Structure 1
Amino acid sequence: MNCETLILVSDKFVDFTADKKAITVSQLNAMLEVPEHIIPGTLKLIPGLGISDNDIVELTTKINAQHTSSHRWDVSALASRPRPAKPCLSHKRLPHNTLIGAPHQLDENRFRMDLCIDENSELMRDHQTGQHVQGMVLVEASRQAFLAVTEAFFQDEGEDSAYFVINSMTTEFMGFVFPIRSHIDYRVVSKDINERRKKFSVEIEIIQGGEIRTRSTISFTVYPNRIISEREAALARDAVKVFLSEFQQPASTVVAE
């Protein structure tokens, strides 16, 4: 029995599927209407990037409802696809805006997590061109990575909620990231932690096919929310005063004759 393996990606990556063993959600839905004898053999689906939980549920439900041989579809890999991190780690309220999986610790200063992309995310809903993942999606994934690692491994239980301040951030793009499985390697370069704040310098690399595709170097500081909120509020008040002063006209002077 022949077995054909296909990468399943979201519709926004339709250009990626040309001349490859890859298929979009819409293309798969169309294929489900084709009689089994037209394309015989087992079709195994491997999850790529961009597909949503709803896509997976709808497709597997439709496949399971088909009157085909038991070996027609192999969707086991879809169930074991990388899952996004919890909102408390990514600081995103809507799950489809989380671009990373839960981080796992490799040693004292190294961590790893999956790249998880839903085409309904805030950065993909309005822009997607070509076959690769857009650069700003990868930058945001790197930002979420330092939030998640810090929240999961450097915040004590019962500690005040944290406020993150980015001091500097640079990103090098070494190559395209395509909508297939990728992971993020995270390394703490230095850390300076005291009772008042936690300061980190980190290096974050997005890896695909064993090659580094992006590298971000980020310096950030974590403060207790109550401390930075007071400072932020004071700065906001000062900014409003300066802004409104630009609209204040000098009082007209009346000269008596």
Structure 2
Amino acid sequence: MANVQNLDPTASPLDYYGWELRRHREAAGLSQGQLGEIIFCTGSLIGQIETTRRVPTRDFSERADAALGTDGLFSRLVGLVLRSQLPTWFQPYAEMEARATYISAFQAQVVYGLLQTEEYARALLGVDQPGKVDEMVAARLDRQRILHREQPPAVWVVLSEAVLLQEVGGRDVMRGQLARLLEFSDSPWVKVQVLPFSVGQHTGMMGSFNLLRFDDGPDLFYLESYDQGHMTANPQVIRERSFGYARLQATALSPEDSVALITRVMEERYGDQPWSDRSTVA
């Protein structure tokens, strides 16, 4: 447990957030319990955030700003705090992803992070680090805020059919996740295609990858393994992977036919009918 008297605000974004929360609370003459009453939480939660034992949410930060009159300080800091909860090797990619104007993603095993539901992300992230799942889920969901900007990036995602069939978190979670994918069918800036098993061998069989494009910088290629990520702007790599991605798009089902397949899988594989009565989806 961090000692609030010895908290070093330079140690991390989370330490700085806790230090600033305590400083502004005390300057306002409020106890932890009094501030908790104002922003509808417990004084214990205030103490845990001040001592870095809990990670603040964006909602908490907005309420703290309103209660303490801090002119958006905590709402600005919380983005840094949540990003710091991502794996160190992933943080550079997350920073570039937030700046990209066009994102192309191929996912062979799981739904792309920007399109995941909270329940799907929780089940996925809880496998390896159950003790940090709340913080990691909050960080993943915060990444998705770029889709709701006034000028969001254009996002094109190709998913292997395996992504639809690999059950993550149980049938209800999968049904909710596939329903989320269907919601994007009306989005002008997010498109989803499914690469069916029937295509056989394809250029994405070596693994998932992303391509990022920017208004004011070179394109980036990102490849992720189990515990590290590789990002490069090498022109030859960008050329080869861009062509490979175009081939995936051309081979995949159209966005409209992808909607039909996602709908069928959602109803037949993850619907309400008993296991014994459900048709098997190939």
TM score, norm. by length of structure 2: 0.30
| Higher radius of gyration, 1 or 2 | 1
More strand by share: 1
TM score, norm. by length of structure 1: 0.32
